Amino acid sequence: MKVRPDEASLGSGSPFNIKAKSILLGTFTKEEITELYSQHTKDTGQIFSKEVVDRIYELTGGQPWLVNAIANEIVVEILNEDYTKKITLAHAEEAKENLIARRDTHLDSLLDKLKEPRVKNIVSAIINGDGVLFDNYDDSLLYCRDLGIISETKPIRIANEIYREIIPRVLNRNLQDSIEEEGETKWYIKPNGKLDMDKLLKAFQAFYRENSEMWLEKFDYKEAGPHLLLMAFLQRVINGGGKINREMAVGTGRTDLLIEFNGDKFVLELKLNRLPSTKQKGLDQISRYLDTLGMTKGYLILFEIKPSSIIPWETRVKWETLSHQNKEITIVEM
């Protein structure tokens, strides 16, 4: 098997040029990525270390266009083809951010697919963690797997870290652009430079109360709308100096966010408040998630799905901090 098919190359001396149509090429294994990058090392002497290859595999899931594009971004755009410079993990992170911000042809073609009903059903279920039963021969599931948008195995999740980052961003992009003063990072920074997450989430509660009904009506992904609204608000603020790691999968009943900012980490668990048992289940879930991270503090965000005509805002907006399984959990309801 050729790691770099002739028909996928763009006629450049770099092994990292590949056509946008590669959205339909099968994924590379970690060994195949190593082999591809070794072509560059052989030609230039510049090495992609094992830890860099491992990180690029995490970021791309072996998706061919992403594997090539991220290497090209590092070598050509970031290091300006100076082969004496060492390739670091920081370069891989910078390349990821650049690709997401620039939205090259491949990413645009991916995002066009998000508008298709077959894709929308699956992606919406992933964002919400909905327990939807998909037959393995379900056309929507197979289609999304063929596109490389979702994982090959269970749990069904977005296929790679870059897609997990860019898909929510593009789905809520119009909202991000419209969040003005309340989305400025400076309002939520303490004198010591740390992020005031309590202040940020209380500001979002006020924003959600004022704007959610208008915005949820505009979303293509209405079921996932509350989660996307919060992600947009967070993205606007966190862009000023941190990052958001998203964990989403079908059937989990939640979305987990790990926010890193100026040396601090914050865990947020997002759930739609569908049942009387939702809060208790959410407390148990976030406690387990905090255990996996070795952390003792987190936020459980509950979005009421009934309209304000049934449950008025005066009673649905709540803030409570309690102890659960030796964890300090702040429950934020709206």
pLDDT in tens, 287-306: 999 999 999 999 999 999 99
Average pLDDT, integer, range 243-249: 85
Mean pLDDT of the chain: 86
267-290 tens-digit pLDDT: 999 999 989 999 999 999 999 999
> What percentage of the chain exceeds 70 in pLDDT?
89
* Three-state secondary structure of the chain: CCCCCHHHCCCCCCCCCCCHHHHHCCCCCHHHHHHHHHHHHHHHCCCCCHHHHHHHHHHHCCCHHHHHHHHHHHHHHHCCCCCCCCCCHHHHHHHHHHHHHHCCHHHHHHHHHCCCHHHHHHHHHHHHCCCCCCCCCCHHHHHHHHHCCECCCCCCCECCHHHHHHHHHHHCHHHHHHCCHHHCHHHHECCCCCECHHHHHHHHHHHHHHHHHHHHHHCCCCCCHHHHHHHHHHHHHHCCCEEEEEEECCCCCCEEEEEEECCEEEEEEEEEECCCCHHHHHHHHHHHHHHHHCCCEEEEEEEECCCCCCCCHHHHCEEEEEEECCEEEEEEEC
Domain borders along the chain are 6-107, 128-333
d(CA 37, CA 139): 35
d(CA 242, CA 268): 15
Cis link prior to 155 (omega < 30° from 0)?
Answer: yes
pLDDT computed for residue 234 by the predictor: 93
Q: Of 99, 242, 223, 113, whose CA–CA distance to 166 is shortest?
A: 99
pLDDT computed for residue 132 by the predictor: 63
More confidently predicted of 91 and 238: 91
d(CA 13, CA 28): 21
| pLDDT of 9 above 60 | no
* Cβ partners under 8 Å of residue 197, min gap 6: 188, 259, 266, 299
